Structure 1
């Protein structure tokens, strides 16, 4: 009977180790695990190896031997504990002795196998511990050596740093001293240059044209600038005075050199001009030859002074060089003026002898613009940086331009023709200023002040002549018989003119009153020639004077022809005047200020009566307030006054025509109203309508016969007078819309008056009386009036 027995071995206790070795070993293992951890692949490889070695097979030399007796024992004893346990579990036992022996061997094998791996692990750890004890001993000794070495290195480092800091301090001190020495040397160089510069400037071989002059002058400027900016240095003021003296000498040499070159160039040009002069000394240069004589030869001097002028202009921010540059400009302008002025004056005088005023203005301005442009170009060759300032050339160009001004002024100052004066303004303002001067720019800017001065004079003369013209030709105009021959003039013009003429298109075939025609013509000429503020005052005065003149002519026409002709004449010319001044974009309102002394007499009386004191400065009656005038402002708007007069005249005309046609009806309605008021007063408001009708018929003016006679007069006026009025309106007012606007209130008044009478007749009179009165139906009257003005 075979029995399989499995036994479990008891755990085997580890031998105790020293505490120090264990702690060091554990610390070393922990440090090792932290510093060299295994990766996931390494852990997987260890797991695979563990699985491979988990099963240990039977040794090859025992795998095929038979089991039993002594062979089994010897076999078991020759195997290791694990192999023995495997074989014993599978052994066949024949008796109890074998069983007990087998059991004892199996138990011993199991204990041996159970304790073997712990012994093996203990031995391994013990070996590791011994190794670590040896290593830690060596490490401790090595660390001790390292600590000593580190302490020595720290001491050496401290000594080295101390030495390095000391070296750096010495180097910095050296650099500072070197820098201080260099700075001191550089500062002393400016003072040391005094003797060197003075020796060179006072040298007999020194001249402005040499190549050493400008660098030496530049070094002198640097020394002066440095000494001026550092007054705290010893003897700086003394050195500054000496440097300034050298600078004055150098600038004097520059000035003399420039004057010499300019005078030499001027002498050459003067010789050329003398050669071209005639027997009587008159210039015979043609316009083309002026350029070669006056400008081309003078440009050669510019090349000699170019370098010097550039240096002077580059330092013009300093007052000494700015003054030198200004002196150079003055010297240049003086020399050029001496050469050019005679030629320009002679040329302008030649133009004045050949040309009229307008042509002289154009030719003179064109010639002077050419001169200004050439002078500006020549000035640029000498002074390239300062040529943009027009004021630098003013001493030269102003006298040249004055020659044209002096030639033109005596001619236009006595000119009385408004057209010619306006033409001069157009030439100066539009052609010269706006077109030519603006297009050519700063090169001809020197001519602008003279042109503006001439333009102001011409505008002043034009203003004076316009005021004189308005006084003589408008305000003081005395009409002749033909001027006020209305409506004959209009009838003659209508028969000779085939075209329809409106107020918006006033033509020469329609006669206008001369002051109106002259006013419009004068304003049209002055509008673009005068400044807006000046034109506004003249326009306001012209419109006011023209309105007064038209009103005076209307009164003359009223006395000569009829009231209707005078009114239509006034309306016609007021409309034309309003239409013609509408395009002027100005304000016709002018404020007049005047002094009022009206209160002076009353204040003097109070002072003489003792009611006020002269010396009392706290009251209103003091001396200062007594003799202080009041400033009164009076605003006059000529356009509004024209509108007001036009409106008044139209209302008067409408009322005149209305009375001319329906005066009997208006008188009848007025009388009826008065009778009703009187009857109402007498009857205390209790009179019946029938009594009122009987009382109205009993009135002498309201009998059916009288009313019929009134209606007949009105019908006669409608049929004969009103068509004549409409015809005359069409004769004076050619615009159908104007006619319609003026006739509309007349028609309304006629219809209203006729309607009132028609209503009275229908209410107050019987049908037989109404039939005998024979009033027109209002609708028929409306149609008739509409047909008149169609």
Structure 2
């Protein structure tokens, strides 16, 4: 309290000094009070000193002189400030000591003031007191400053000590928290071991889920801090804790699954084909599914963290599959046996019904499994595969005894189209196991189909023994033509008044049974006025052709492209061979022309009907060529003496180098074979008809060419006259030409009729007859040139050879008949 009191006294003294000094010159001159009247007025220099003193005080205290209540904010006077004030007072007072007082105020006017000295002494005394007070105040201020400095230093030291203590406390708290956090992982091992030593109640199993999360955290911590002491020991103990917890969860899930299975009475003869099968085998079993689902999802989410979770989940999957297998195995076996007994004689219905049953079973089992679990399991696939194999084992023993191609083809359609394409592709995940078994069954059926097809084409096509009716050509065609003609006449009499547009309704599309191949037949006239031949009816086709096309149409939808190409090539080859054999029988029975036309017609049918398949009827065959090996062996045997020769002519070395086997590739194209046989047959038919119609003319021309060549070779020797030869006399030539002309006139209508009967296509007939016509015209053209060159005009008149125009007119007339 002393520093504040000294400061207040110093401030009051200074203020009083300033106020009294200010009153010196401000007193009124006419004031009657002699004591208060200014007897020593200040001059300008004195007032300047007073102002300086006032400025010094204000600069030190400022506004604090007006607000004395806030003493805590006063600025203490330092020793330097006090020295400055002392020097100022000494300089000011010294200056006023040398200044005569009489020079101010009334003294200059010669007035005397007797009390001036007393006043001055009084003021001097006051100034001296003021000076002493100021010195005393300065001492107090020095004491106050020293005390403040000590207190401030101690306070700052206390502050720093407290801050250091707080920092140390915070650090210790963090260390303690870190230690507790680290120790918590180790403490949890004992806590979980103690809690899991007693199996929890069923209702408390869900409480293990947070514990599993903490166990996973502890194991992860032990893995990342394996450098800690005894970390490995605690890690192994925590694994044991996890193993106990997972065993409790697994036991709980297995208990639920077993209870769900026990709700279905096994003593009753339940079947999956009954109406209440779904409710019985699925509705009751899925009642407890939500309880298992919660725990299973937790295990599934943690499978990536620890293999124990995955192993536990697999055990649960295995238990589920086992319970479902025990529950359904007998029912599935019984249901399939019931279907087999019910459809014992209908293989297609059995396969369709069995596959549909297993298809729905797999879908229901898949959906039921995902009511309990969310992650797919191999045990589910294994269980479904066992159910599917029951059907597969039951059907395979029946499939391998099917001999009919129609049945095998329909089975392929059922498995490939109805099951795989229509059902499996839309539910690939649910029916993946069923697809595997169904595909395996399909492959077995296709393999059986290929085998039976090979047997069929070998026995029924290549080894076909035609009956007399099969080769009764052209009798059967003529009979069918008469029947068609009679039907045409009857229909024409009934439809006499109908328009030509209505006549199109008489066209019948005949389809080969079991195929998509159709043949258009009509008993009425076609657009160009010609009637269709009975040969166009598929019933009039040769049996091997009909069987070949039926077989190919079935195989095309049932087999893969590569397999179909190889099998179709073999089928076509055997079909062509059977047609050639039948053609030879018809030739022996009738005429070569009938055999040729039969073969041409059926080769055309075959080529036309295989075109829609749009595949290559070609196969690549690998053949081993032993030619070089044979030649090398012959040389080796001829060089036995050089067997051990040490030069290049060593027989054994030559055998090794030259006796290598060669593998050659060969392509067999059945389409080309058909075209090749068709071309050869047409050429033979053209040659036969050309020889029939103008064979005598060709013989004459050949003999005449011999005579002409002989004359050309003899040069100057006497030449032989052609017209004098017995075979070339004009009269003989006349009889030869007349005979050949009458032959053509007689044979051409029959030829056109036979071609129309067999081929029944004007375009084909014209294409086939065009080379014959050209051969006939060429033969007569050569004959005309020859006789004009070698015979006289009189001989030409005798011979009477027809012109090319007449031959063309004869052909046209015969064609119109």
TM-score by length of 2: 0.68
- Count of aligned pairs: 605
Match of 2:253 in 1: 258
Which residue of the other structure, out of 303, 306, 313, is the alignment partner of 1:325?
Answer: 313
Match of 1:241 in 2: 236
Measure, in 1, the Cα distance between the counterparts of 2:601 and 2:731: 42
Q: 1:285 and 1:552, CA in 2 relative to 1: closer, same or farther beyond 3 A?
A: closer
More divergent stretch after superposition (642-651 vs 572-581): 572-581
Residue pair 1:273, 1:293 contacting (<8 A) in 2 also? no
Structure 2 matches for 1:36-51, cutoff 5 A? none
Structure 2 residue 721 is the aligned partner of structure 1 residue 695: yes
Structure 2 matches for 1:433-444, cutoff 5 A? 433-444=420-431
Match of 2:274 in 1: 287
Structure 2 residue 225 is the aligned partner of structure 1 residue 199: no
Structure 2 residue 204 is the aligned partner of structure 1 residue 220: no
1:333-366 alpha-carbon deviations (Å, 9 max, x no partner): 1110110111111111111111221111122122
Match of 2:750 in 1: 724
1:289-342 alpha-carbon deviations (Å, 9 max, x no partner): 111221111112212212101101112224322222222222111110110111
Match of 2:767 in 1: 741
Residue pair 2:272, 2:332 contacting (<8 A) in 1 also? no
Measure, in 1, the Cα distance between the counterparts of 2:202 and 2:656: 74
Residue pair 1:255, 1:328 contacting (<8 A) in 2 also? yes
Structure 2 residue 523 is the aligned partner of structure 1 residue 536: no
Match of 1:393 in 2: 380
1:197 Cα deviation from its structure 2 partner:
2.6
Structure 2 matches for 1:597-616, cutoff 5 A? 609=640, 611=642
1:139-182 alpha-carbon deviations (Å, 9 max, x no partner): xxxxxxxxxxxxxxxxxxxxxxxxxxxx9999999999987876
Measure, in 1, the Cα distance between the counterparts of 2:217 and 2:797: 124
Measure, in 2, the Cα distance between the counterparts of 1:503 and 1:229: 94
User: What is the DSSP-based 3-state SS (H/G/I as helix, E as strand, rest coil) of the residue aligned with 1:528?
Assistant: helix
1:632 Cα deviation from its structure 2 partner:
3.9
Which residue of the other structure, out of 630, 651, 654, is the alignment partner of 2:683?
Answer: 651
Residue pair 1:743, 1:789 contacting (<8 A) in 2 also? no
Measure, in 1, the Cα distance between the counterparts of 2:743 and 2:190: 122
1:624 Cα deviation from its structure 2 partner:
8.5
How large is the RMSD of aligned CA atoms in angstroms? 3.4
Measure, in 2, the Cα distance between the counterparts of 1:435 and 1:334: 31
More divergent stretch after superposition (589-598 vs 467-476): 589-598
Match of 2:371 in 1: 381
Residue pair 2:385, 2:433 contacting (<8 A) in 1 also? yes
Match of 1:667 in 2: 699
Structure 2: tracts of 5 or more residues without a match: 1-161, 486-521, 524-530
Q: 1:619 and 1:373, CA in 2 relative to 1: closer, same or farther beyond 3 A?
A: farther
1:54-94 alpha-carbon deviations (Å, 9 max, x no partner): xxxxxxxxxxxxxxxxxxxxxxxxxxxxxxxxxxxxxxxxx
1:407 Cα deviation from its structure 2 partner:
2.1
1:548 Cα deviation from its structure 2 partner:
0.7
Residue pair 1:329, 1:392 contacting (<8 A) in 2 also? yes
Structure 2 matches for 1:7-406, cutoff 5 A? 186-205=181-200, 209-269=204-264, 272-274=265-267, 276-277=268-269, 283=270, 287-318=274-305, 319-355=307-343, 356-383=346-373, 385-387=374-376, 391-406=378-393
Q: 1:206 and 1:645, CA in 2 relative to 1: closer, same or farther beyond 3 A?
A: same
Structure 2 residue 675 is the aligned partner of structure 1 residue 682: no
TM-score by length of 1: 0.70
Measure, in 1, the Cα distance between the counterparts of 2:170 and 2:574: 97
Measure, in 2, the Cα distance between the counterparts of 1:714 and 1:171: 142
1:528 Cα deviation from its structure 2 partner:
0.7
Match of 2:542 in 1: 513
Match of 2:449 in 1: 462
1:514-555 alpha-carbon deviations (Å, 9 max, x no partner): 222211121122221122222212111111011111111111
Residue pair 1:708, 1:774 contacting (<8 A) in 2 also? yes
Match of 1:161 in 2: none
1:474-494 alpha-carbon deviations (Å, 9 max, x no partner): 111122222222221211121
Measure, in 2, the Cα distance between the counterparts of 1:392 and 1:489: 67
Which residue of the other structure, out of 614, 621, 631, is the alignment partner of 1:592?
Answer: 621
1:703 Cα deviation from its structure 2 partner:
2.4
Q: 1:442 and 1:408, CA in 2 relative to 1: closer, same or farther beyond 3 A?
A: same
Structure 2 matches for 1:541-560, cutoff 5 A? 541-560=570-589
Residue pair 2:533, 2:756 contacting (<8 A) in 1 also? no
Q: 1:239 and 1:168, CA in 2 relative to 1: closer, same or farther beyond 3 A?
A: same
Match of 1:122 in 2: none
Measure, in 2, the Cα distance between the counterparts of 1:254 and 1:627: 75
1:227 Cα deviation from its structure 2 partner:
2.3
Match of 2:779 in 1: 753
1:113-157 alpha-carbon deviations (Å, 9 max, x no partner): xxxxxxxxxxxxxxxxxxxxxxxxxxxxxxxxxxxxxxxxxxxxx
Residue pair 2:408, 2:449 contacting (<8 A) in 1 also? yes
User: What is the DSSP-based 3-state SS (H/G/I as helix, E as strand, rest coil) of the residue aligned with 1:302?
Assistant: helix
Residue pair 1:606, 1:612 contacting (<8 A) in 2 also? no
Structure 1: tracts of 5 or more residues without a match: 1-166, 278-282
Residue pair 1:459, 1:530 contacting (<8 A) in 2 also? yes
More divergent stretch after superposition (367-376 vs 599-608): 599-608
Residue pair 2:189, 2:241 contacting (<8 A) in 1 also? no
Q: 1:775 and 1:208, CA in 2 relative to 1: closer, same or farther beyond 3 A?
A: farther
More divergent stretch after superposition (640-649 vs 723-732): 723-732
More divergent stretch after superposition (446-455 vs 607-616): 607-616
Q: 1:711 and 1:342, CA in 2 relative to 1: closer, same or farther beyond 3 A?
A: same
Residue pair 1:504, 1:579 contacting (<8 A) in 2 also? no
Residue pair 1:761, 1:770 contacting (<8 A) in 2 also? yes
1:748 Cα deviation from its structure 2 partner:
1.0
Q: 1:719 and 1:241, CA in 2 relative to 1: closer, same or farther beyond 3 A?
A: same
